[in-house]
Structures are given as structure tokens and as C-alpha cells.
Amino acid sequence: MSNRMDADSLLWNWARWCWAGETVGNMTPYVSWEDDHRPINHDHARIVDALHQQLPHHERMVVIAEYPQKNRLFADMHAKQRTEAAQRWIERVTGVWLTEHEYSLYLGFFKDAVGRKLL
């Protein structure tokens, strides 16, 4: 990862923050800081989390698939495979089927919102 601050780095910071706490229930532990050793900016992560919590469930899951769960649920998949697997996962959980275009739009809209809020 580069040291440049952009929406993507803010979202990866949030993903590390999500994994930094205690796991609950039957969650499989995943230590994201093994991939990225930068310290977590908790203030930024809380702002991203507040934005994330405002989204409808299926849109939240798009962001989750691309950030906190990317390396756990969708490891070793290229982008198209990850999108297709995430579409199936989102439909199973929410009952909402997203087209590839909608998936990309929702992800882009959220990244833009994060950038507008924090950059």
C-alpha cells in the first residue's frame, strides 16, 4: 500500500479497525494487520463506520465484501470472481440480487462519500 491518503487507504484503515476488536460468536478470527502493519487511525475508522452504518444492508455488504472480508471470504479470487461470489453471498443474506453494475456503483458511491467526508 502506498502512503498516499485516499478513500481506499481510509477504507483499509477501517477494515483493520473492524478486525482489531474481539471476535464474537462463531466468527473466524482474521488478523488483518498481518497484511498491513500501519497503525490504525481510530478517528478516521469511526467516521467511516458511521457512514457505513447509514447504508442499506445490501450496500453495507458490498463494502464488507471488498474490505473487511475480502481476504477472508474471498481470498485468492480475482475481481470478477470476488464480485460474483459476493453477489451470491449478498443475495443469500439479504434477498437482494445486485447486478455487477449496481455492485460497482454502490462501492464507488461509498468510496466517494468517504473521500468527501475525510479528504
Each of the 119 residues of the chain gets a pLDDT tens digit; together they read 456 789 999 999 999 999 887 666 665 655 554 566 788 999 999 999 999 999 999 999 999 999 999 988 998 999 999 999 999 999 999 999 999 999 999 999 999 999 999 99
Environment class of 23 (CB within 10 Å of its CB; exposed 0-12, middle 13-18, buried 19+): exposed
Give the count of domains, the chain: 1
Q: What is the pLDDT of residue 30?
A: 55
Does 2 map to a domain?
no
Q: What is the pLDDT of residue 27?
A: 57
Q: 38 is in which domain, residue-wise?
A: 7-118
Residues 16 and 34 sit within 8 Å (Cβ to Cβ): no
Q: How many CB atoms lie within 10 A of CB 18?
A: 19
Contacts of 79 (CB under 8 A, 6+ apart): none
Q: How many CB atoms lie within 10 A of CB 86?
A: 23
Does 80 map to a domain?
yes
